[in-house]
Structure 1
C-alpha cells in the first residue's frame, strides 16, 4: 500500500482511490475531509500520473485553499529545484477562480480587464447614490434590503432585464429600478461586485463555447469543498466546467448547511445523485475531533430534521464528560458563569485561553460578554468585529491604490478626495459631480480638466481656496501615477502614498492612543504588501526561467495591470477567517455561523433559549427551523472535549427584557449525556422537567453547595444580581411539562384561523402563587402578516388543537 493511502480509514481510502466519474462524499464534522481531498489529488498525480495542470479545486475560504495546497505538496514532495510539484493546479475560492477567468477572458463579454472589485461598503454607497438619483427615500427603502434583493437575484443568475419582467410587488418594482441604475454605475466605475464575479463567469462560459471548451479540457478533474454551501450560480459554474470529462468530486455535509441567508441551497447537494445518476456515494462517519458523548448529543438534535441524508458520527474516543447544562438568572450572570468556568478549567486542567470559544446566535449577545470579560480582565478576541481591511485607515490607503489602478473608480475617489483634509468640501464635490454628469465624463477626468488651464470645456465656479485645493489634488494624483509607472513594488507605492499625502505624518502628530493604533494597522498593511511583493518576485523568476507558463499565473510585465490589480483583488476577496490565528492567547467570542470549520477543546454555547436560539424568525417556518437545528449541530461539533450549554431565565436583548424558555434543541438532548447545574435556587428553576432536576440538582447536598457557591460568586462578582430578587418572577414561570399547549404545536383560533404556538407562560395572582389553567397564556403565530403573533389567555381564547 502506498504511503498516501496508509493513514486513511476504509471509507477515506475508498474516496481517494475512486478514479473517474462523479463522486459525492458526505463528510461529517471532524471526519477528515481536507485530508481526503488532499490525498485524493496526490494519489491521482502520483499513482495515476495525472498532471497537476488538469486539476481545479474550489474552496470557500483562502485559508482552506492554502491548507489544501500545502497538504498536497507535503504528500507529493518537491521538484529537484525545490519548487512545489503542484504548480499548474488552480486552487482557490469560487470568487478568486471567477475573477481569474474574467481577468483573462472577460473582454469577450464586454468586461474591462482592469475592473476593480467593490466591497460591501462600496456596494452600499452605490445603492444609496442610485436611490438618491431616482428620488427614492433611503429611510423608506433601506439600501441593505435593496442590495440583498439584488444579490439574491444575481445568485439566481437573474439580470436586471429579466428581474424587471418578473417584478410583481411594489418593493420588487423599486428594486428593479435601482438594479438597472446600480448595474450602470458599476460599469461606469469599471467595477464588479462579488456576485458579478460568479454571474459573469457563468455568462462567459455559456456565451463563449470556445472559452468553455478551453476550461473543460484543462480542468479534467474538478473538486469542490463545502458543496452544501453553494448557491445556484456556483452550481452552474461547476456544472459548466465539469461537463465534458465528468470527473467531479464534491465534498460536503448537508447537516452543516447554515448559509441560506447568503444564497446557499442545501437541496443542491441532496440532488447530486439525480444530476449524476452514475455517481459513487461515500459517507465519512468516523469522527476525529469530539468525544462520543458530544457526538450523541449532536445527533439527538440533528436527527429531528426531515430533509437530510442519514448519517451518524462515531469515534474511537468512547465516553467523555457529559455536557453541562447551566441555568442562570440573566445574561450578566451567564457571562460571569462562563468566565468562572474558564478560570476553573485553567487552574484545574491547565487549559490555555485559546482552548475556549464562546458561541452565540446573534452579534447583539456579545455586548454583555465583552463587558464582563473586560471587567474581570480576561483576554478575548471578538470574531465578527470590524475586519482588518474594513478599518478606516486601511480603507483610506486602499482607496488611493484602487484609484491609481482604476481612475474611473468614483467611489474610491469620493472617499479620499479630502482625506487627509485638503480643503475640498462636500459642496465642491457636488459641483464637480454635477459637471461630470453634464459632460458625461468620470469624476477624475472632471478634476483633471478643472485643474488644466488649457481647456475651456469645463466651466465651474469654485472659490479660490477650493480651486487651489482641486489643482493640488490633481497634481498629487499625477505625481503618484508617474511614480507607480516606475516603482515595481506595491510596498513602495503604498509608502509613497503615505508620504506624499502626509497621511502617516498627520497620524503621528496626533500623539493619541487611537492614532498609534491606526499607525500599527498601517504597518500591518505594509507587511501584507511586502509578503505579496515577495510572491510576485518568485512568480516572475519562475516565468523567466521557463518554470511557469503565462496560463499558470496572472503576472504580466505591466505593473498596474498585473501586480497592483492582483493585490487589490486578493484584498477584496479575503475573508475574516483567512486572518484567523489559532495560537493567539485569548478566549474566542464569535457567532455560531463564524465558528464553522473551527474546533476548540472547550465550547460554551450561550443564550440557549427559545426566540434566541432557535431565532424568533424561524418559529413559523419549517425550512428555517431546520437550518437553526443545523446551526446548533455545527456549534456542538466544534467541541473536542467539553460543551457548556448556558441559558438565562430572563434576558434583555434589543432593549427588551423578557422571561425565557429553555431552547427546544436542549430538550432534544437525552438525559444520559447531560449534567444540569444552576446558579440560582433550585426552587426558582421551573424550566427543566422535575425528573431531570431531581437527578442533578434537587438533592440537599446539591442545594447546599449551590447556595454556598452562589453566595461566594456574589462576593467575587461586583454588580451580580441577588437570586432572591428573581424569585417572584421565576415562580410564575410555567414549567414546560405542565402547560396543556406546547411550543411548535398547531392550533386553530375561532377568528384568526390556524397558527403555531411559539411561546407559553402564565400570569400569577397578586399572591404570587400560580393558579391553574385559567391563568395560562400562549403566543400563537398566524401566517397572515395583518395578524402576526398574538398573546392569548387560555381561559378566554377560542383555541383548539389541530391533530
Structure 2
C-alpha cells in the first residue's frame, strides 16, 4: 500500500522526515527537494506521531514559500488541520505580538509599517530637521536604521515614556534615527525589524510568557536557516529550550544576505554549539544536469565557511556550459539575443523558459536594448510591487484609516483627491493633535469648529469616514473597496488621470478579495487582511505568467529555477562586487562566490556565462573577466569569443593585486610610522574590515589605515631617531622618494579600492561580519 507521506522520498529525505527528536541540522543543497522533506516531516509528526498541528512552528522567509508549504501539507493530511503556524518569521511575530504586546504597554492594534510607510515618516523627519536628499538619501537612512536596530539596545529608548531630543552633536543619521523612533512611538507603529526585536524583548523579559510559548511549541522547523539573522535565530533557539526539538534546513553555500545580518556560521557551527546535533546531508539534485553541477561544485569548494558536500544527480550529462567573451557590451548583448533565438529554433522552448541574471540592476540596460532590437519580448523582475502601487496604497490606506484611524493613512488620504486642505490646515491640526494627545483624525473630529479647521473639505472628509465606518460594519471587504472608490472620488481621479492600468490594478485587487472570500467561505476580516498585506515583501512577487524572457538580479532569483540561464556581466568588479570587497574583504569574497554558485544552480538544462571588454564605469577600470571564471577548470566549459592570452594574464595580475596581502602586520599598542602623518599608535585592529585604527600624535587624530597600505611601518624599523623633528618638507621629500604603487598598470585595482567607486551596485553590504580569528557565537542567557 502506497504511503502518501513517505513515498518518493530518497534515503536522506526519509532520514530527515523520521528524525523528529532533538536538534537536527539538514544541509540541503540546491534543488535537493528540501520543501518536500519539510512538508513531509510536518505531516509525519501530525499523522504518525499524533502531535497537534497547532503545536508545530515552521518558519520560512516569504509568504509565497509559506503558502506553498501549507498547500503541500494539506494535500498530505487533509485540510481540517490548523496550519497557521506554517508562516514567516514576521508572520509569527505579528501573531505573538497581537497576544502579548500589552506587556510593554502597546495596544494590540499596533500599526505595521511597510517600506512606503517608512518613507512617509522620513519625509516628515526631513522636513522637521530641514534636510533633503543632498544631505542623506532615504536608502542611506533606512540602511542606517536597520543597522542600528540590529542591536536591541534601541528598545530601551523607544519603550521609555518620553520623546527624543536629538543632540546637535550627534551625527545627522543618528538625529534622523532618533526622530524616526519618536514618530514611530507616537503612532504605536512597528517596522519589520521591530516585529522581531519586540517579540524577542518580551520573551527575554517575561519568563511567564516565554514558558507559555515554549510549552506550546513542541516542534520548531526553520526553512532557509542560512538566511536567519542573529535575532531570528535567537528567537527560535529560546522557544525550543523546553522541548528541545529544533530542526534547521538550509545550505551555507547559498547564504547571500550577509548584508542583512545572515551568517553562514549559524548552520556551519551549529553542531559545535549543540554537540548532540544530528546532521543529515541532502546532496541529490533534481534540477540541474551533471555539467552544470560540476561548475557549481568546482567554484564553491574555494569557500572556507561551509559544510563540505558535492551535489550529484542521476540526470544525463546534458549540454556543455558555455562562456562567451565579447569585444564590447554591444557584442555581448547581441550574442545573448542570438543565442536565445537559437534555443527557440532548436529546442521545444518558450521565451519564458529563458532567464538572464546579473549582479547589478544597471547591467540590464544593454541587454534590454539588444532584446528590443531583435524583437525578443522580455520582462524585468524587481520593479514596483503590486501592493506598493499608488492606487493600491490609496485604497489600502483608506481601509486602514476606517478601522485604525492611524496618522500615516490620514496624512496620505485627507487631501486625496484634493479637498483644499493645505499646509496651514495640516500644521494647525498637527499642533492640536499633539496638544490633546490625539490622532489626527480624532483631533479633526473633536475640533472641527476650530477657525482654521472648519473648512468644507474637512467636514466632507469627516462625513466620508463616518459613512465608510458604517459600511465596513455591514459590507464585505470587496464591496467596501467599491464603495470607497465611488464615495471618495478616487475612481473618478484615476479615470481623469488617463492611466487605465490603475483601474485594472484595482480590479485585480477586488478580484483577489473575492477569491479570498470564496476560499474562506466567510467574510474577510479587514484588520487581518491589512496585516497580511503589510507583511508582503519583494521576495513574494508573483512570477510573470506571460511568455517573455525574464531579467532579474541573482538575489531575486534565489529559490527559483529556470531551464535556460544566462549570467551576463561576468566581470571582475561586478561579480565579485568591488564595493563589497572594499567594505568587507574576505567575507565579501566568500559571499560573492556564493552568489555565483546560486546563479549557476538556478539552471536546469543550459548555463551561459558572458562578459566583455571595455571600460567598467562601476570600478573606473578596464574590464576583465571575473576571478571566478579562473576558478573553474577549463575542462568544465567551452569558450566562445576570443579571450586573448594578454587579457587572461592582465586579468590574473589585476585580481592578485586587488586581493593584496591583507595579512595582519601590527598588533594593538604597536608604534608605527606613516610617511605623511608621522608617528602613531595602533589603537585597535579591525580584522573583519582589514583595517587598523591609528592615533597619530602630530595631527592629534585617529585615522583608519588599510592592512594593504605598505608604507605603514613599525616605528623602530624606520631608522628615524628624531621623527618628531622632521619638517613637513622633509616628509614630503621622503614620500616622493617612495615608488608610487599606482603608476604601474597592474596596480590600478589597489588604487580603485582606495577610492569610492560609483555606488550603483544593486545590493550594498552592511559590515555585520565577524573576525575570522574570533568566535562568532555568543550563547544566550
Same fold (TM over 0.5): yes
Other structure's SS at 2:356 match = strand
Alpha-carbon deviations, 1:189-243, whole Å to 9, x = none?
Answer: 2321111111111122223323222222221010000000011221121012111
For the Cα contact (< 8 Å) 2:654–2:748, is it kept in 1?
no
What SS is found at the alignment partner of 2:340?
A: helix
Task: Give 1:299-378 correspondences, 5 Å limit.
Answer: 299-378=297-376
Q: In the alignment, is the contact (CA less than 8 A) between 1:290 and 1:640 conserved in 2?
A: yes
Q: Check the 8 A contact 1:365/1:653 in 2, yes or no.
A: no
Alignment correspondent of 2:550 = 588
Tell me the TM-score normalised to structure 1 length: 0.79
Q: How far apart are the structure 1 equivalents of 2:500 and 2:132? A: 39
CA contact (8 A) 1:132 1:138 kept: no
Matched, 1:475 2:474: no
In the TM superposition, residue 135 of structure 1 has moved relative to its aligned partner by 5.0
Other structure's SS at 1:441 match? coil
Distance 1:750 1:110 in 2: 55
Match in the other structure for 1:460: 452
Structure 1 residue 149 displacement after superposition? 2.3
Aligned to 1:420: 417
SS at match of 1:779: helix
| Cα separation, 1, equivalents of 2:651 and 2:6 | 52
Q: 1:445 to 1:359 in 2, by over 3 A?
A: same
Question: Is 1:632 paired with 2:596?
Answer: yes
Q: CA deviation digits over 1:514-536, x for unaligned, max 9?
A: x1111111111111222233344
Instruction: Report deviation, 1:272.
Output: 1.5
SS at the partner of 1:594? helix
1:20 aligned counterpart, secondary structure: coil
Using the alignment, how far apart are the partners of 1:163 and 1:626 within structure 2?
36
Whole-Å separation in 2 of the counterparts to 1:387 and 1:331: 30
- Which residue in 2 is equivalent to 1:485? 473
Does the CA-based 8 Å contact 1:364-1:653 persist in structure 2? no
Tell whether 2:663 aligns with 1:666. Answer: no
Residue 412 of structure 1 deviates from its aligned partner by 1.7
| Structure 2 spans left out of the alignment, 5+ residues | 161-166, 664-672, 677-704, 710-741, 758-781
SS at match of 1:746: coil
Cα distance 1:372–1:214, how it changes in 2: closer, same or farther (>3 A)?
A: same
Change (3 A) 1:747 1:14: closer
- 1:254 touches 1:269 (CA, 8 Å); kept in 2? yes
Distance (Å, rounded) in 2 between the aligned partners of 1:111 and 1:436: 19
**CA pair 68-274 structure 1, distance change in 2 beyond 3 A:** same
Q: What secondary structure is seen at the aligned counterpart in 2 of 1:603?
A: strand
Structure 2 length-normalised TM:
0.81
Aligned counterparts of 1:788 and 1:516: Cα–Cα separation in 2: 43
- Match of 1:245, SS state, is coil
Tell me, yes or no, if the aligned pair for 2:478 and 2:514 is still in contact at 8 Å. yes
Gaps of 5+ in 1: 79-83, 541-558, 690-733, 758-772, 790-803
Other structure's SS at 1:593 match: helix
Residue 249 of structure 1 aligns to a residue whose secondary structure is strand
Q: How many Å separate the matches in 1 of 2:307 and 2:18?
A: 23
2:271 aligns with 273
Residue 503 of structure 1 aligns with which residue? 490
Deviations 1:600-620 (A, max 9, x none): 011000100011111111334
Superposed CA RMSD in Å reads 3.1
Deviation at 1:159, TM superposition (A): 1.6
1:568 is aligned to 2:530 = yes
Distance 1:425 1:251, change over 3 A: same
Counterpart of 1:531 (choices 515, 518, 538) is 515
CA distance in 1 between counterparts of 2:657 and 2:174 reads 43
**For residues 5 and 533 of structure 1, do their structure 2 counterparts lie closer, same or farther at Cα, with a shift above 3 Å needed?**
closer
1:610 counterpart = 2:610:
no
Correspondence for 2:111 among 116, 122, 125: 116
State how far apart, in whole Å, the 2-side matches of 1:24 and 1:738 are. Answer: 41
Alpha-carbon offset, residue 357 of structure 1? 0.8
CA apart distance, 1:737: 5.8
Q: Deviations over 1:621-673 (max 9, x none)?
A: 1111111111110010000111110102125656x975201000111111011
Give the Cα–Cα distance (whole angstroms) in 1 for the partners of residues 398 and 743 of structure 2.
68
